[in-house]
Structure 1
Amino acid sequence: MRASFLVAGTALALTSALALAQGAPESLLPPGFNEPTAAPAPTPSPRATSARQGAPARPAAAATSAPVIQALPGEPGFSLPLATSTSTVEAEGTLKRLPSLEELARMTPEDFQNLLGLKPDFDMPAGARRAMSQVGLIDPQEGGLDGSALAGQNGRLIRLALAANRGALVSRWGHILLRRALATRLDAPRGMSPQDFLALRVGLLLRMGEPEAARAILQDIDAGNYTPDLGGVALDTYAANGDFTGVCPVLAVQGDARDDAAWNVARQICSAFRGNGAAAIAQLDRYRYRGTMPRIDLLLAQKYAGAAGRSRRAVTIEWDDVDEMTPWRYGLANAVGLNPPDRLIEGNPQLASLTAVTPMVGLTRRAAAADRAAALGVLSSAAMVDLYGQLFAEPDVTGEWSDRAEKLRDAYVLEDPAGRLSAIRSLWDGVKTAPQDYSRKVLTAYAAARLPVNEGMAESAAPLIASMLSAGLDANAMRWANVVNAGSEGWALLVLAAPTRSSEVSSSDIDTFVDADASEDQRKSAFLVAGLAGLGRIDTGTAGSYSANMKLGLGSSTRFTQVIDGAARNRDVASVAMLAGLGMQGTRWSQMSPRYLYHIVSALRTVGLEAEARMIAAEAVARA
């Protein structure tokens, strides 16, 4: 009944102008006020009398008013002053016809806004709108890169470097560097619009498993500046965060920018949260019957939209027939408090990253995901310690996760250094995968840095140093330089990670390391030589000799090496960082070639990112 009154009231408002036009004009003034009055006769100006009397003056004609005739509908001149963009509107902004009652009943709030000409172009007043130049989160004073570094760069090159990157990098430090570059307040490169550049950056952050950083960047621009491509990336970003209502301001302004299934479903979700729940649920039902999206996605959308209204409708979610977990699906499931089966999540690094940073997920699930996310570079060592601190403080957490949290506490607070080392090693033991192993080293980095340098711990020096370097604690790691033997793995990590070095690395020490290297295909030795050559810690002749003997191909070039070397010569720090991310794609270090490592480390060092170059080189040896 209430909806009927609303429709009738809207129709009455739209037809009021017609009602006034169709009836005869009726005066609201008292009698006599609307009758025309004669204009007063002009007072003749005095003139000098003449001998002859002039002709008598004519009486002044009475002034009469012409009736105002208003054009009727359908006649020339009739218009209703409603500037709209619906199909019932002409180009000059006048209605061709009035919507029927049935059409009014089916209209969404956005349709009414369009019909009445109330749809905003911007969600911010003119004085508060933000420029599209240098959009991002951090500037050079906050650790970002040079904001104008890409202003003169070829836009096609940057587009390729960002669009071709699938998001998974073999290097934790490479991931951290690329995230830093993408989050910097950067000008768009030459030949690329700020919106296209932003869409590429945000899309790559999303593929890297960084939904929070991606969302934070999007929140730095006004909804009126969105393009269809940027809107699609924004929808994926908010979906990955489980924050589907966060994109509603964009849909309110740019609702007609796209017409794909996910976009239309999101519009219905936003419509439900604006109070139009019944109509939104009904429209989602129609989408489900038409097969607009997979059934599971639309059921999850209905469950999410139903939380906004009083539909009192139960939506049952069954995962038996679902064989894939997409970020959209996973975000909706988390948002409505559902736990998808582990079989749909395991083995997907992007979902592991999403789980590790999703607050709606339980602590134990987040901790399990963190065992992979930390190795990827999504979580810092401090974030890992905070997570385990929550596990320790939560009385409902029992079993293996409670035991691990207690062991981490022992690694910090036990008085006996040997006991602390034992607690650290117990956290390293029992891991099943290489990413899990390195994530545990990230977890114990600060505990390892607190250990005193002790000859009795020399056997554990290499993993302790690797743990410290995973968090960038190079100064703490260098304290162990007098404990490790020349040619050992601990020595190799330190000669790569040392902030400064006054002399070149001895070839005899390198030979000792190569002879003792038991890694597959002696990959650690190959990465050691490539890293030392890239950092300039062995001369060109020595590097060439090892390259030839070990068939590393450091002197050969490819299109990629030519491009990144050229960017380094131009001191283009942002391009080098993005190209380095492109060259380090993969899920394991066996996919990384020594030649690419050499050129990446060398380019980073050339543009002033030597700290990142040292950490990447040391990480390569530690994880090979």
Structure 2
Amino acid sequence: MRSVYLLAGAALALTSVWAVAQDAPESLLPKMFQEPAPATQAPPRPAPARPAAVQTASPVRAESTPVVQALPTAGSTEAAVDGSAGEGAGLKRIPTLEELAKMAPDEFEDLLGSNVVFDTPPQARRSMERAGLLDESEGGLRADSLAGQNAGLIQTVLLGDNGKLVSRWGHILLRRALVSRLQPPEGMPPQDFLAMRVGLLLRMGETDAARAVLQDIDIADYTPAVAKSALDVYEKTADFTGLCPVMATQGDLQDTPEWNLGKTVCMAFRGNGAGALSALDRDVSRGTLPKIDLLLAQRYAGAAGKSRRAVTIEWDNVQTLTPWRYGMAIGVGLEPPTQLMDASGPEYSYVTALAPMVGLERRAAAADRAGAVGILSNAAMVDLYAQIYADPGVTGDWQDRAESLRDAYTQQDAGARLVAMQTLWNGADTASVRYARQVLTAAAAARMPASPDMADEAAPLITSMLSAGYDANAMRWTGVVPSGSQSWGLLVLAARGRTRSVDTGALDKFIDADESEDKRKAAFLVAGLAALDRLGENDARRYSNDLTLGLGDSTRWTTAIDSAARRDDAASVIMLAGFGMQGANWHRMTPRYLFHIVSALRQVGFEGEARMIAAEAVARA
């Protein structure tokens, strides 16, 4: 008889919360950095010894006594195996151990009669039309945002975005759109729409969000495109056993070496460890995949059941790192060589930052990259450093940084707190890492008093606050910082609800003092002010001409995002904004594109994110 399982994916609630501090906020000191209250209660008394159990006789009803069938004798077993007896009872021939080891996964399931089939009642099936995590009531985008959009344009934007955005706030906003419960544009199959969203989330490094969106659909609705996304998701989350429900019911959706290797690994986790390891041995001898991939799979499969063996992993001849290799490695507690990691790009750092099985020091190093792009929040980074501070096994530079972060929160003197933050910022070896450390110190910077004595140090403090959305705290410095300074420029962009035009004299002073390459800070400031309608139309045109910004010029992309903004199509605006913000750093962004992005976001109701993106551009240029 075939066993029937009820398979359903579990939706994880991911909500990206923008914490905005109030004028009189509660303490921003993280709980892990607060001094514990002195103990006042008496030490606990020792528990009394437990009395020995007293055995009492209890009546046993005859019908409740279990009936245990006697084990067959050796003779009867042999008779059943060779078919000389038991035929009248319908007994099948029992395979030998050697035959079991050589069986394919499907044959083994047939023998056990445990092939999984779908038996989900229609009322329990989930609709593919609104797959995602965030409903509109939970902060997601409106479900029908893309209803009137051209399917070809959305496909181009989702597939053409490499996921590497110059803006941290742009990354956060795009993630919010991709995990929203959205209807696909007319003419696009919902499975294809979901697979493209999951693929972009993976390219952005949002592995947990990608897995959660994938698991919001029933496995019965999988298509080959969704199955490929599933393999990518479970590789990058080092959760290969997550593939096993898919393999059990939709195992024929793909026929690639990695997919089939995943089938074999799942066979081990379903009880046939010996057969899985034998199949992997055959793959090694045939050269189905590079040897390192197969050896890692053997190590992973060997973790299931009793069929364990010693597998030596050698990286000497491995030239490149792949998601399969890295996921398998961290899944079994291995660490690829440092030189291999360094040569493989930032995507593996994003995986590391979110991987709970990786050591604290490696995760902290990865957090410097993940925090800068928007994968980790200020709170997540502080929690990570709090674990480092509390772990006596972590020493050296990382422990020193954790102590500096604690000082940034707990020192009584504001100057000492500033020195602690500067120690973290100045210890960075790149501009990106420095910005990540400013994300780390955002809540500590928000607690700093707006003092004229620190006016010259205000710019990095304001940058730190705005990196996590503490705009209300940052605005306390408005009457303190000099007019026309970088701090002034950040504040005029970050101010809420500002309707009057800025002082052009102060703007001229900012431009004259700008020492950035090609006056990029000044160019971004003008573009941001014009987009936020804080610069008069004539002044905007004059500054655009003087700085050769071309704010009035148009391209196919600017036409598309402006059109989406006029239709109040927030989802298209955000996806097009992400498409236009691709690049390794802010040198890849043009003031003209920044102008259209900020303007379009403001028109569709994302004025807060528009202000933060504009301020981030000036801070990081």
- TM-score tier after normalising by the smaller chain length: 0.7 to 0.9
Paired residue for 1:582?
Answer: 579
Measure the CA separation in 2 of the matches of 1:17 and 1:567: 74
1:219-260 Cα offsets, whole Å, 9 max, x none, are 221111111111111111111111100111111110011100
Task: Identify which of structures 1 and 2 has the higher relative contact order when contacts are C-alpha pairs closer than 8 Å and 6+ apart.
Answer: 2
Paired residue for 2:329?
Answer: 333
Paired residue for 1:417?
Answer: 414
Paired residue for 1:595?
Answer: 592
Letter in 1 for 2:184: A
1:50-87 Cα offsets, whole Å, 9 max, x none, are xxxxxxxxxxxxxxxxxxxxxxxxxxxxxxxxxxxxxx
Paired residue for 1:360?
Answer: 357
Paired residue for 1:496?
Answer: 493
Q: TM-score, normalised by structure 1?
A: 0.83
SS at 2:427 equivalent = coil
* 1:305 and 2:329 aligned: no
Measure the CA separation in 1 of the matches of 2:601 and 2:167: 14
Letter in 1 for 2:537: T
1:136-162 Cα offsets, whole Å, 9 max, x none, are 111122211111111222111111111
Paired residue for 2:457?
Answer: 460
Paired residue for 1:169?
Answer: 165
Paired residues for 1:167-246 under 5 Å: 167-246=163-242
Paired residue for 1:443?
Answer: 440
Distance 1:541 1:7, change over 3 A: farther
1:433 aligned to which of 399, 418, 430: 430
1:559-604 Cα offsets, whole Å, 9 max, x none, are 1111111111111101111111111011111011111111111110
The question of whether the paired residues in 2 share the 8 Å contact of 1:278 and 1:311 is answered with: yes
Paired residue for 2:476?
Answer: 479
Letter in 2 for 1:218: L
Measure the CA separation in 1 of the matches of 2:117 and 2:214: 18
Distance 1:224 1:489, change over 3 A: same
Measure the CA separation in 1 of the matches of 2:90 and 2:564: 71
SS at 2:145 equivalent = coil
Letter in 1 for 2:384: L
The question of whether the paired residues in 2 share the 8 Å contact of 1:527 and 1:617 is answered with: yes
Measure the CA separation in 1 of the matches of 2:80 and 2:535: 83
Paired residue for 2:25?
Answer: none
Alpha-carbon shift at residue 19 of structure 1 (Å): 8.5
2:290 aligned to which of 275, 291, 294: 294
The question of whether the paired residues in 1 share the 8 Å contact of 2:389 and 2:399 is answered with: yes
1:318-376 Cα offsets, whole Å, 9 max, x none, are 11111211222111100000011111222611111111111111001101111111001
* 1:149 and 2:150 aligned: no
RMSD: 2.5
The alignment of Structure 1 onto Structure 2 pairs a total of residues equal to 541
Distance 1:604 1:343, change over 3 A: same
Distance 1:616 1:499, change over 3 A: same
Alpha-carbon shift at residue 309 of structure 1 (Å): 3.0
Distance 1:277 1:117, change over 3 A: closer
Letter in 2 for 1:159: Q
Q: Give me the identity figure in percent.
A: 60
Alpha-carbon shift at residue 293 of structure 1 (Å): 1.7
Letter in 1 for 2:516: S
Measure the CA separation in 1 of the matches of 2:468 and 2:611: 13
1:556 aligned to which of 540, 547, 553: 553
Alpha-carbon shift at residue 405 of structure 1 (Å): 0.7
Which protein has the larger Cα radius of gyration, Structure 1 or Structure 2? Answer: 1
The question of whether the paired residues in 2 share the 8 Å contact of 1:123 and 1:222 is answered with: no
SS at 2:614 equivalent = helix
Paired residue for 2:252?
Answer: 256
Alpha-carbon shift at residue 119 of structure 1 (Å): 4.4
Q: TM-score, normalised by structure 2?
A: 0.83
Measure the CA separation in 1 of the matches of 2:347 and 2:153: 26
Distance 1:17 1:260, change over 3 A: farther
Paired residue for 2:338?
Answer: 342
**Which 5+ residue runs of structure 1 have no aligned equivalent?**
21-97
Distance 1:10 1:410, change over 3 A: farther
**Which 5+ residue runs of structure 2 have no aligned equivalent?**
1-75
Measure the CA separation in 2 of the matches of 1:437 and 1:594: 23
Distance 1:371 1:8, change over 3 A: farther
SS at 2:318 equivalent = coil
Paired residues for 1:34-113 under 5 Å: 106-111=102-107, 113=109
